[in-house]
Structure 1
Amino acid sequence: MDWWPVALVVVLAMGFTYTNGFHDAANAIATSVTTRALTPRIALGLGAVMNLLGAFAGMRVAETIGSDIVVVPTGATGIVLCVGALVGATGWNLLTWWRGLPSSSTHALVGGLGGAALAAGASVQWGSVRDKVAIPMVVSPVVGVVGGFLVMTAILWIFRRASPGPTARGFRYAQTVSAAAMAFGHGMQDATKTAGVVALALVAAGHQPADDPSVPLWVIALSAVVLSLGSAAGGWRIMRTLGRGIIHLDPPQGFAAEATAASVLYVATATGAPISTTHAITAAITGVGATRSAKAVRWGVARSIVLAWVLTFPGAGLAAALVYGLLSPLT
């Protein structure tokens, strides 16, 4: 098959990656901006650079998306499957961004792949989806809530006799490190996922063996650059939801949330699990806020976010299936 169908998938994949960047930029920087640890301009720049660097450490996640979610058919059917998945996931990203809801770009992409594969009659590797997507999807927010609560509890105990002013200033400086760690983890996870879809397109077009799970370095590099550009564009609607909608954070709380979420991302990446950076940071913020009191958390906002999470798989999957159906006459 010619290269132009693959080029089309690359363009769509980079479009999704760009929306992922500005959709999820808030994940890494919202807490640092709202606690005034970093200015928005500095935070966005830091996030963009660390996203770029983190992308090259997430190859295992790319291989999971590229070989463990669906068995892509060869020829035009496989290309249209990839197109449907990307268009469906991008549409869901734009919808939730417009509504200001921090939904999961990861699960939008996996849902899009699943929906397009079912519409195409292709094989979905349900066992792998269960082990590498569904179980981490449930476990990572739980770990985030518990971890955020424990880290914040430890901070409160360690600094219980410290002067509030110097302590807050110290944690503002510490948030530069924790925000950078969070952005690096976002790059490890999110820049590599669409690279996995491009690898699927290469297999479908016959330019890469089906039993080769590797993702070309040029695809990772391109995804990294585009994700960084999207992150630099910012995601102010979602930033307001994460930074102020769930709970108003102070610098120690912001540091605890970012450090917890970054740790969750690193462990997941090491196992090749494509988890949601949105899940990780939102859960960590909720756990941190609960140390103040259960009433301090705005549970109505949290419920809206959970609803967006629940709807992401079927919403993106249905959109991808519809796109595949419209384009199926081309196969």
Structure 2
Amino acid sequence: MSAVTFALILALTTVLMAEFVNGWTDAPNVIATVVSTGVMSPRAAILMAVIMNTAGAMSGTAVAATVGKGIIDPAALTLPSITSAMLSIVAWGTFAARAGLPISKSHALLAGLAGAAFAGGGLQALQWDGWEKVVIGMVLSVILGGVAAFAIGLVIVFFAGDSKPARSKRLFDRLSLVAACFMAFNHGLNDGQKFMGVFATTLLTGGVVSTFEIPFWVILICALTMALGTSAGGWRIIKTIGSRMTRLQSWQGFAAQAAASCTIFGASAFGIPLSTTHTITSGIVGAAASRRVSDVRWTVLKRIVQAWLITFPVCFTAAYIAARAVNSLF
């Protein structure tokens, strides 16, 4: 086996490792509300998430194209630097999952790619048109997700506030289930595609293909890898956002999931890579606050936001240092 072939296999393996961690640590974004409100059992929720995540990941490539060739110049990457970037994502995502922190693997991925590309090509390796989409995604995920969930919650309280609790719960249990399925589909549609883009970029860097393209077999492998990661759960994160940050009722779970999934669906249509973690967390906060602002445990949310803020610099720096080192050696 040649050194180039080994480097290619290693890089592709670490991309799939990062995709697995993405599925493992982002599964709570999909099922936290339906599990914490008792709408679905954990096992049933995981099975639903696996199926719908896979379906979503196989339903488009717009986000994959943005991440694969619109954020950084692929020519600035080497196979060892891609490996370094992916390992930084795996390390940070695993640490955060162990700590029960719902960080954004999207931002970890983008930061890792940026760090690796910056190590190989400087500022010219960063494509600013693509980063405009990233900034738009940051705004959409936090503001639109939270505001939309807050508005939906107020509408529900206004129209259904006087209805019988048992009847109301049955209705919103069903609606929550539908919204959770849509959320799982959109998680695959946006998050699942990001690593497809990196996988395709790795094939291009390794000389397997001469132009950037995402064949069906790449879509299938990445979708199944994310599904496998999703099946692992991520129970500490579920506890953090599903019960420690606030206590949700099924109507609030529906409001959060509906707002988050619609936001992600719209972004995916325009190839905008946003954070599903930020979107659903903001949605949960908005839905909880629509009843009482005091229902949100702000100290827990503060800890989550702090993890969000350090994700980008941590992954960028780790990938940059590692990429500089391996590029100089190989």
For the criterion TM > 0.5, the same-fold answer is yes
Report the TM-score range of the alignment, normalised by the length of the smaller protein. over 0.9
SS of the residue 2:231 aligns to: helix
- How far residue 207 of structure 1 moved from its aligned partner, in angstroms, is 2.5
Q: 3-state DSSP class of the match of 1:57?
A: coil
Q: Deviations over 1:10-69 (max 9, x none)?
A: 211110111111101000001000100000010000001101100012310100111111
1:93 matched to which residue of 2?
A: 93
**Match of residue 17 from structure 1:** 19
Residues 254-299 of structure 1 show CA distances to partners (whole Å, capped at 9, x for unaligned) of 1111111100110010010110110110010111111112211111
- TM-score w.r.t. the length of structure 1 is 0.94
Shift, 1:324, TM fit:
1.4
The alpha-carbon deviation at position 214 of structure 1 amounts to 2.7
Indicate the residue corresponding to 1:280 in structure 2.
279
Amino acid at match of 2:35: V
Q: How does 1:278-317 map to 2 (within 5 A)?
A: 278-317=277-316
Question: Equivalent residue for 2:260?
Answer: 261
Root mean square deviation, CA, Å = 1.6
Contact kept? 1:145, 1:288, Cα under 8 Å: yes
Describe the SS at the equivalent of 1:273.
Answer: coil
Structure 2: distance between partners of 1:246 and 1:267: 27
The Cα shift of 1:303 comes to: 1.2
Are the equivalent residues in 1 in contact too, given 2:70–2:127 (CA < 8 A)? no
Contact map agreement 1:84 1:323 (CA 8 A) in 2: yes
Mapped to 2, the partners of 1:223 and 1:51 lie a distance apart of 11
Given the alignment of the two structures, is residue 181 of structure 1 paired with residue 195 of structure 2, yes or no? no
Structure 1 segment 76-87 matched on structure 2, within 5 A: 78-87=78-87
C-alpha contact (below 8 Å) 1:6/1:198 kept by paired residues? no
Deviations 1:101-126 (Å, cap 9, x if unpaired)?
10100000000001111122353334
Equivalent residues in 2 for 1:69-80, closer than 5 Å = 69-73=71-75, 78-80=78-80
CA drift at 1:85: 1.4
Q: Which position in structure 2 is the counterpart of 1:60?
A: 62
CA distance in 1, matches of 2:56, 2:286: 26
Q: Distance in 2 between matches of 1:293 and 1:176?
A: 24
1:161 alignment partner in structure 2: 162
Contact 1:79–1:201 at 8 Å: present in 2 too?
A: yes
- 1:7 Cα deviation after fit: 2.2
Distance 2:110 2:234 in 1: 22
Structure 2 match to 1:107? 107
Distance 1:297 1:161, change over 3 A: same
Counterpart-to-counterpart distance in 1, 2:127 and 2:16: 27
Determine the structure 1 residue equivalent to 2:45.
43
Distance 2:7 2:60 in 1: 26
Is the 2:81–2:326 Cα contact (8 Å) retained in structure 1? no
TM-score (norm: length of structure 2):
0.95
Instruction: Answer with 182-191 or 212-221: which moved more.
Output: 212-221
Secondary structure of the corresponding residue to residue 282 of structure 1? helix
Rounded to whole Å, the distance in 2 between the matches of 1:213 and 1:275 is 22
Task: Say which SS state the counterpart of residue 248 (structure 2) adopts.
Answer: coil
CA contact (8 A) 1:82 1:200 kept: no
Distance of 1:62 and 1:30 partners within structure 2 = 26
Shift of 1:159: 1.1
Tell me if 1:318 matches 2:291.
Answer: no
Task: Indicate the SS of the match to 1:214.
Answer: coil
> Mean Cα displacement is larger for which, 60-69 or 320-329?
320-329
Deviates more, 1:127-136 or 1:302-311: 127-136
- Cα distance change on mapping 1:120 and 1:330 into 2, 3 Å: same
The letter for the 2-side match of 1:171 is: F
Aligned residue for 2:139?
Answer: 138
Is this contact kept in 2: 1:87–1:323, CA < 8 A? no
Q: Any conservation in 1 of the 2:117–2:126 contact (CA below 8 Å)?
A: no
Structure-2 separation of matches of 1:25 and 1:323: 29
Native 8 Å contact 2:114 2:126 kept in 1 = no
Whether contact under 8 Å (2:201, 2:212) holds in the other structure is: no
What is the CA distance between 1:317 and its match in structure 2?
Answer: 0.8
Unaligned runs of at least 5 residues, structure 1: none
> Structure 1 residue runs of 4+, over 6 Å off?
none
**Secondary structure of the equivalent of 1:70?**
coil
Query: Are residues 129 and 306 of structure 1, via their aligned partners in 2, closer, same or farther at CA, if it must alter by over 3 Å?
Result: farther
CA contact (8 A) 1:88 1:318 kept: no
**5+ residue gaps, structure 2:** none
1:117 alignment partner in structure 2: 117
